[in-house]
């Protein structure tokens, strides 16, 4: 068991972060290392992102933590089992799971291919379930765990052209709340971070006019940078967040009030 009695807030912890070769996931990986995590497992979906994942892993190592980059499609049960086995083999345990893997796709409902709907739901929602399902036994055995799921403020307000994405994020919130009720008597916490629009590669799928409309509707007047989002993950992973269970924290610049 890690000693978190003093020093950095994640001192000695091990973390597995899905979808962490870029964007918010990469930012969370670096923030966890800065917060004292001992081991960070970087997940990426396809070999084309291997170099990006290894670059994040190298940055994590430069901050004093161990790191391992593992390719796995989180919507695939077998690949998730392989990912978790690799994490346990390297680090011995998973104290913190961040379900962050996600993809974006913009289409009206009538033009949205069924295969695209299935893919978006699969990566976001099925992936969150599969990874949680795989790490929970170890967290139960250790008597400790922190599960942080990436949702979105759009799960609450909706967005034209993003029906699959918003449905997946709404499902993640509902899943997290049910999970939190199941594990309430254990020292395992499950919560969500629901970021507002953030400058990451996932916004590449959003048309410029839609992005400008989103920006114009944010009271503080601009989209978030990754550094605006990641402190919420560190908080929920740390002892400071120990009394949060089944909650949704939304750093969104006032775009939507939860």
Helix residue ranges, H only, the chain: 23-34, 50-62, 77-91, 114-121, 127-142, 154-157, 163-182, 208-216, 226-237
Spatial separation of the C-alpha atoms in residues 34 and 167, rounded to whole Å: 33
CA distance 120 to 118: 6
CA 34 centroid distance within chain: 17
CA dihedral over 76, 80, 81, 83, signed as positive or negative: positive
Q: Residues 57, 35: contact at Cβ < 8 Å?
A: no
Which SS3 state, helix, strand or coil, does residue 150 take?
strand
Residue 230 to residue 156: CA distance in whole angstroms? 21
Distances (CA, A) of 8 to 5, 101, 127, 130, 213: 9, 26, 30, 30, 40
Is 233 one of the annotated active-site residues of the chain? no
Catalytic residue among 44, 140, 156, 165: 165
- Catalytic site residues? 165
């Amino acid at each position: 068991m890690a000693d978190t009695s003093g020093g950095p807030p994640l001192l000695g912890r091990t973390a597995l972060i899905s979808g962490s070769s870029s964007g918010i996931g990469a930012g969370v990986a670096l923030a966890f290392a800065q917060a004292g995590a001992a081991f960070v497992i970087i997940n990426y979906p396809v070999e084309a992102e291997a170099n990006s994942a290894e670059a994040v892993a190298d940055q994590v190592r430069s901050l004093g933590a161990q790191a391992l980059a593992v390719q796995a499609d989180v919507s695939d049960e077998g690949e998730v089992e392989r990912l978790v086995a690799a994490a346990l083999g390297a680090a011995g345990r998973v104290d913190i799971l961040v379900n962050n893997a996600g993809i974006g796709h913009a289409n009206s409902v009538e033009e949205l291919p069924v295969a695209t709907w299935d893919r978006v739901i699969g990566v976001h929602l099925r992936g969150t379930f599969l990874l949680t399902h795989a790490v929970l036994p170890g967290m139960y055995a250790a008597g400790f765990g922190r599960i942080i799921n990436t949702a979105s403020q759009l799960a609450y307000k909706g967005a034209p052209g993003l029906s699959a994405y918003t449905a997946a994020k709404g499902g993640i919130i509902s899943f997290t709340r049910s999970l939190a009720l199941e594990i309430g008597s254990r020292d395992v916490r499950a919560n969500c971070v629901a970021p507002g629009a953030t400058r990451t590669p996932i916004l590449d799928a959003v048309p410029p006019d839609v992005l400008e409309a989103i920006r114009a509707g944010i009271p503080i007047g601009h989209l978030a940078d990754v550094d605006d989002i990641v402190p919420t993950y560190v908080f929920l992973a740390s002892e400071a967040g120990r009394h949060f269970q089944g909650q949704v924290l939304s750093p969104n610049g006032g775009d939507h009030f939860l």
